[in-house]
Amino acid sequence: MIPATNSAYATPWWLHGGNLQSIWPSLVTPEPRVAYRRERWDTPDGDFIDLDWLPWVEGAPLVVLFHGLEGSSQSHYARAIMHALQQRGWNGCVPHFRGCSGELNLLPRAYHSGDSAEIDWVLRRVAGQYKPARLYAAGASLGGNALLKWAGEQGEAAGELVSAVAAISAPLDLAAAGHALGRGFNMLYTRMFLASLIKKSLAKLALHPGIFDAARLREARDLYEFDNLVTAPLHGFRDTDDYWARASAKPWLARVAVPALALNARNDPFLPAIALPGPADVSTSVTLEYPDTGGHCGFTAGALPPGHLQWLPQRLITFFEHHP
C-alpha cells in the first residue's frame, strides 16, 4: 500500500529532514526526556554494546529500536518513539551500535548499514533474556536498512523472533543514497556526519595503529571516500561499491516473510524517490508507505515552527498493534 500524504502530518517546507534538528533546534519542539536504564552486553567477539531501556512493564509488548548513522537513544526520533511507547504502557529499548553510546568500542570494527549479524544477535538475546509478551523491531535510517536486510535474510525464521518490523527513512539503495548525499544541499548532512565519523575513526586509529591512512581520512570529503577508507575494509568489503551493493536492503525485500512497514518520504534528501522499491520489488508481507513529504526521519506535525514528531510514533504503534 502506498497511501497519499495526510497534509495534517506533512513535513513543512522549513524541515527538509529530521537531522536538521541537530543544526537548527528551534525548528522542532524538543521531545520529552526519557529516563533510561542502561545495560551493557559483552559481544561474542570480545567487544561490548550499550542498550538503553524504558522501565520494564511485565506482560507488555517490547519495541526494539535500532538508530541511524551516528544516532543514539537521545536522537529526536528515538526519544519521540520511546516516550510514546511509555505513554502507551509498552516496553522499549534502544541498542546502540558499537561506538555510538558515548564510549569508543574496543575492536577495529564499528557498525555499518548492512550489519544484519548484529541485529540478529541483539534480537535473539533480547528474546531469550527478557521473553517479552510480543517483540517488535523498528529501525531508523541506517538501522532500518540493516533491519529489513535481516528480515529478508531470515525469511520465515524472522517470525520466530518478532511479530513485525518497521523501517523509517531507510536508505534501501545505498548507492543511490550515497550519491544523493554527495550533492548540493545534502552536503550539509554529509559534513555533519563526517565530522563525527572522522573524529571517532582517528580515536580508533590511536588504539589500533595502521588500520587505515590517517592523512587520507582527514582529506575525505564525502561518504564514498570515507567508506572506501574505513567502513569497507574494516567490515569485510572490497571497497565502497562492494559495500553499498552488498549491504543494501532493497534486493532482500522480496524475501521478507514477517509483516514489515517501509516508511519513506518521497522528499527524503537521503534517498531519491526514483530509487524507492515498488510493489514488484517486495513480498506481500511488506507495506510500502511513501508520503509526499516527511524528509529524513522527520514526519512532523504542525504547519509552522516549531513542529513536533507525534505522528511517527503513533504510526509505528498502530502498525504493530495490527500484527499481534
User: Which residues are annotated as catalytic?
Assistant: 141, 268, 296
Residue count of the chain? 324
Q: Which amino acid is at 285?
A: S
Beta carbons of 26 and 14 less than 8 angstroms apart? no
Q: What is the DSSP string of 183-235?
A: SGGGHHHHHHHHHHHHHHHHHHHHHSTTSS-HHHHHT--SHHHHIIIIIHHHT
What crossing angle do the helices spanning 142-154 and 240-247 adopt, rounded to 10°?
A: 60
* φ, ψ of residue 93 in degrees (nearest 5): -150, 135
Q: Could you count the other beta carbons within 10 Å of the beta carbon of residue 146?
A: 28
Could you tell me which residues come within 8 angstroms of residue 199 by beta carbon, excluding any fewer than 6 positions away? none
**CA–CA separation, 153 vs 309, rounded Å?**
31
Task: Give 245: exposed, middle or buried? Use CB within 10 Å, 0-12, 13-18, 19+.
Answer: middle
Considering only CA atoms, give the Rg of the chain: 18
Beta pairing, strands 260-263 & 286-289: parallel
Beta pairing, strands 91-95 & 48-53: antiparallel
The secondary structure of the chain in percent helix, strand, coil, rounded to multiples of 5, reads 40, 15, 45
Task: Extract the C-alpha cell encoding 95.
Answer: 541498542
Which of helix, strand or coil describes residue 309? coil
